């Protein structure tokens, strides 16, 4: 049970770090990835396909942000499973795979990939932010477990 709790806390820390970076950098750099726009499009299309009216404006942003934090926290929490010897390596691998997925999957899912592929710099930042989230998760889990021992 302690392992699951440390995984969830670590995953949440990584997801929050990822979103803080996204929100901060998009305010100061025109080339910053706009994963939030991809998420908003996905939520809108998904709700419309079910015959529901999607939220708009700030409500759409908050719904997307909440879903993003929760889904990334769940995904990042998987970093804590397996041998502790490879925790940081798993953090990097999961973060890199999430970043590469964020760049390559939107178009394949029928979504606009422009917010994350606009420039090479945008693509690199997208992958880097998810990598950082994975590493924050791994370090958080490692720290929690070290204090528990």
Which of 5, 2, 1 is CA-nearest to residue 77? 5
pLDDT of residue 35 exceeding 70: yes
Q: How many other C-beta atoms can be found within 10 angstroms of the C-beta atom of residue 114?
A: 13
Q: What is the pLDDT of residues 37-78, one digit of tens each?
A: 999 999 999 999 999 999 999 999 999 999 999 999 999 999
**Rounded Cα distance, 4 and 136, in Å:** 17
Domain ranges of the chain: 2-148
pLDDT band at 1 (very low <50, low <70, confident <90, very high): low
Task: Kindly report whether the global pTM for this prediction surpasses the value 0.85.
Answer: yes
Q: What is the pLDDT of residues 78-134, one digit of tens each?
A: 999 988 899 999 999 999 999 999 999 999 999 999 999 999 999 999 999 999 999
């Amino acid at each position: 049970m302690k392992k699951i709790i440390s995984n969830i806390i670590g995953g949440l820390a990584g997801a929050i770090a990822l979103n803080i970076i996204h929100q901060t950098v998009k305010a100061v750099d025109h080339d910053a990835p706009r994963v939030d726009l991809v998420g908003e499009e996905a939520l809108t299309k998904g709700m419309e396909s079910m015959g529901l009216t999607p939220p708009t404006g700030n409500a759409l942003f908050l719904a997307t942000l909440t879903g993003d934090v929760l889904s990334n926290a769940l995904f990042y929490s998987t970093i804590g499973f397996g041998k502790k010897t490879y925790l940081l390596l798993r953090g990097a691998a999961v973060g890199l795979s999430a970043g590469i997925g964020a760049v390559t999957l939107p178009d394949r899912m029928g979504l606009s990939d422009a917010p994350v592929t606009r420039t090479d710099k945008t693509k690199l930042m997208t992958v880097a932010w998810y990598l950082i989230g994975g590493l924050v998760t791994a370090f958080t889990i490692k720290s929690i477990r070290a204090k528990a021992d």
